[in-house]
Chain A
Amino acid sequence: MRQNRGRLLALVLLFMSTFLFAVEPYTWSLTMSKNSVYVDEAVEIEYTCSFQDQAYLHVIKFTPEQENEAYRLLPLGVIEKTRDGRRSDTYRYVLFPKKPGQQSFDFHALMRKTTKASIENSVIGRDNVEDYSFIDTKVALPTVVLDVSAHQESLTGQFSLNVTLDKNEVKAYEPVHLDIHVQGEGDFDQMQDIVLVIDGVKVFSEVGEKHYKLTENGFQGEWEQKFSLVGAKNFTIKPIELSYFNIVKRERVLLRSERFDVSVKEAYTKEELLDDLEDQSSSWWSWSYLNYLFTFILGVVLGRYALHFKDIKKSPEGFIAEIEACSSVNTLLTKLVLNGDTRFSPLIQKYDALGSKASLKELKKEIVSIVNSDTITEQKGKDV
């Protein structure tokens, strides 16, 4: 009997130890800002994974589907903190349910666990290990359950409308500017541009500008659309309306601006439609032309007197004068050599060989006769 009791105790201990070791070192919890909402109303949900320790071997991969036919899920942020040696990761999201009724949404996270040895191998680069090895466990997170009520509006939230017109009286073809401004919080990203149609009025419309940020209550900010309206006769801008489902009043709300009557005075003449430009027909003279003239003169003066460009290139016209100015045979022969004209070669050869017996006068006479007989051909590129 005693033996049997001992066996039973061993079995109980074995069962308990198995149970104890099988317990995961983390728990997932869910916090929701509200349980009952309307379609497209924002709900903040927070998933928190609390570990028993610092859990440096664990990596959480939580990438839930962001949009499907049942909901839109937008991330608000992730907070990872360690308090009293225990790590907890919080994933904050804003959920917009799309369908009415009792809705439940299931999400999963991938819990990845590595080992000290894997980290060591990877850091040291042992056996060409480039990354940690993980053991992955897919974990089902607590289900989000929402009681979603229906409504018929395309917008949900809490908004205010402000419509302004810059003037009520204009001349024909003079534009008036209409500014539609919506402020508040809700599903701003669903806001559609307004199409304005007024008989006999040309409507120039800008694309609606959205300036908002995601908060736990949805999108918060403003939306603005601007119009320019040009007409030839009096016209009326009907009240601008914006209907939405107000989540505070829990009813449909219709925002409505005032009606704008625009009085259009007599039409401009054709010339008056143009901007205030100078008369082109009399543009043959302008005092501004003097600027160009002075700039040109200044450039010439600077170039001529201030910059002092040195022209060391010779003018060919001066060749005869240079010949006449030479005072010795050698100087003259040198000049002929530098000239490079092959017709002077026999002369150079002849007078150079004569040495001191050479007559400068005779040489000049022969050169002039050659020059006058024909134009000196340029010997470009033969200057070896």
Chain B
Amino acid sequence: MFNKIEAIKSEVAKVVVGQDKMIDGLLIGLLCEGHILIEGIPGLAKTTTVNALAKSLGLDFKRVQFTPDLLPSDILGAEIYDPQHNAFKIKQGPVFTNLLLADEINRAPAKVQSALLEVMQERQVTIGEESFAMDLPFFVMATQNPIEQEGVYQLPEAQLDRFMFKLVVGYNSKDEELEIARRIAQGVTQKIEAVVGKDELTKMKEAVKKVHIDEEVERYMIELVTATREPAVYGLEEIEEFIQFGASPRVSIDMFKAVKAMAFLRGKEFVTPVDVAYVAKELMRHRIVLSYEAEAEGITTDELIVKILEAVPIP
């Protein structure tokens, strides 16, 4: 089963150089049925990676470019009048797919974001009087650009909480960038093959569920989440004033799933604190609400998560 993961990665690597952690994050989201928010400046292969991943999985993939004038019906679909049959018929929107890329999600107004996030939570769409269950797997990957603030609609905390991971994509290393430039200059394009089908994906999900978590590690994870709410209890008085709201219970739920998937990706059948460390930032960075003091002093949630990981006793 682990070979399949390697096969997916090698297919994606045909068009994407580096960005291993983003690919791991996307795979974890896929295996755990969690949605992913990807943040990074333009030109870091966010869309290319998601596209390649969809093709390698042989899943239906659709992309929606979010714009300020987008309407919920542009995504979900709408009832339209059919003059031939003198009746209303339902035109399904791009949300009816397996992998949906919501590109630049923060450019659309709140009503559109809400419409999409409702589908993400319920995995069901109601158009007119009819409800449609989404074809599983249903997986949303949303991207947002962190450098522009004007003309964007920031996702509110309650909606951010529905994303399992927030992946922050950075620049490639020098060697990787050299490889990218060479590939583009040579005009080499490789076709991505579908190496995993829906059935195999289902089997992988089952395998992930069977990954063992020791009770000590389970308790450790709960301690980590609790420490974001009451840092002083864990000897972290210095960061208490920087956290307005700690991580929600949804983080604990997602963490239990994500660490299993991470262990699975690393070819293990059991979870260790190392797996927890690998996913902690991605799970919690968008779910901890910083205080004004933290923002004034330029402290990020990542720095606070590192402090918490260092302070909570590791089993």
Contacts and interface: CB of A to CB of B under 8 A. Distances in A.
Interface in A227-241: none
Given A312-B303, A330-B315, A331-B314, A384 B277 contact: no
B309 to A, nearest CB: 6
Contacts of B302: 383
A330 B272 contact: yes
A381 interface: yes
A220 to B, nearest CB: 61
Contact of B282 (A333, A380, A382, A384): A384
Contacts of A383: 21, 168, 170, 281, 302
Most buried by A among B21, B274, B281, B307: B274
Interface string A301-339: 000000001101100000000000000101101110110
Interface string B148-176: 00000000000000000001111101000
Q: Give the residue among A312, A348, A349 with the most B Cβ atoms within 10 A.
A: A312
Contacts of A380: 170-171
B9 to A, nearest CB: 14
A372 B274 CA distance: 24
B70 interface: no
Contacts, number: 73
A355 to B, nearest CB: 7
A352 interface: yes
A330 B22 contact: no
Interface in B291-314: 297, 299, 302-304, 306-307, 309-310, 314
A197 interface: no
A330 B309 contact: no
A333 B168 contact: no
B274 A382 contact: no
B272 A352 contact: yes
B59 interface: no
Nearest to A384: B21
B288 to A, nearest CB: 14
A328 B314 contact: yes
A353 interface: yes
B239 interface: yes
Nearest to A355: B272
Nearest to A348: B274
Given A330-B273, A338-B277, A352-B272, A313 B170 contact: no
A337 B274 contact: yes
Interface in B217-267: 238-239, 242, 266
Given A312-B299, A381-B169, A353 B268 contact: yes
Q: Which of A309, A338, A377 has the most CB of B within 10 A?
A: A338
Given A330-B274, A330-B314, A382-B21, A338 B167 contact: no
A384 B169 contact: yes
Contacts of B282: 384
B169 A334 contact: no
Contacts of A310: 238-239, 297
A330 B273 CA distance: 7
Interface string A344-367: 000011001101000000000000
A333 B303 contact: no
B162 to A, nearest CB: 20
A384 B168 contact: yes
A309 B167 contact: no
Q: Which of A334, A349, A377 is most buried by chain B, counting CB atoms within 10 A of its CB?
A: A334
A334 B170 contact: no
B104 interface: no
Contact of A381 (B170, B239, B274, B307): B170
A104 to B, nearest CB: 72
Contact of A335 (B25, B299, B310): B310
B74 interface: no
A309 B309 contact: no
Contacts of B266: 349, 352
Given A382-B21, A384-B167, A334 B277 contact: yes
B171 A312 contact: no
Contacts of B274: 330, 333-334, 337, 348, 352
Contact of B273 (A334, A353, A381): A334
A76 B21 CA distance: 87
A333 B309 CA distance: 12
A141 B282 CA distance: 92
Contact of A334 (B173, B268, B314): B314
B170 A382 contact: yes
Contacts of B304: 312
Contacts of A384: 19, 21-22, 24-25, 167-170, 282
A312 B307 contact: yes
Contacts of A312: 238-239, 242, 299, 303-304, 307
Contact of A337 (B19, B167, B169, B277): B277
A332 to B, nearest CB: 9
A313 B239 CA distance: 11
Contacts of B242: 312
Nearest to A313: B303
B309 A381 contact: no
Nearest to B19: A384
Contacts of A337: 274, 277-278
Given A334-B276, A335-B310, 9 more contacts: A333-B272, A334-B309, A352-B272, A381-B170, A381-B171, A382-B170, A384-B21, A384-B24, A384-B168
Interface of A: 309-310, 312-313, 328, 330-331, 333-335, 337-338, 348-349, 352-353, 355, 377, 379-384
Interface of B: 19, 21-22, 24-25, 167-171, 173, 238-239, 242, 266, 268, 272-274, 276-278, 281-282, 297, 299, 302-304, 306-307, 309-310, 314-315
8 contacts: A330-B314, A333-B274, A334-B274, A338-B277, A338-B310, A348-B274, A381-B168, A384-B19
- Enumerate the 4 nearest inter-chain pairs by beta-carbon distance, A residue then B residue, closest first: A381-B170, A384-B21, A337-B277, A334-B277
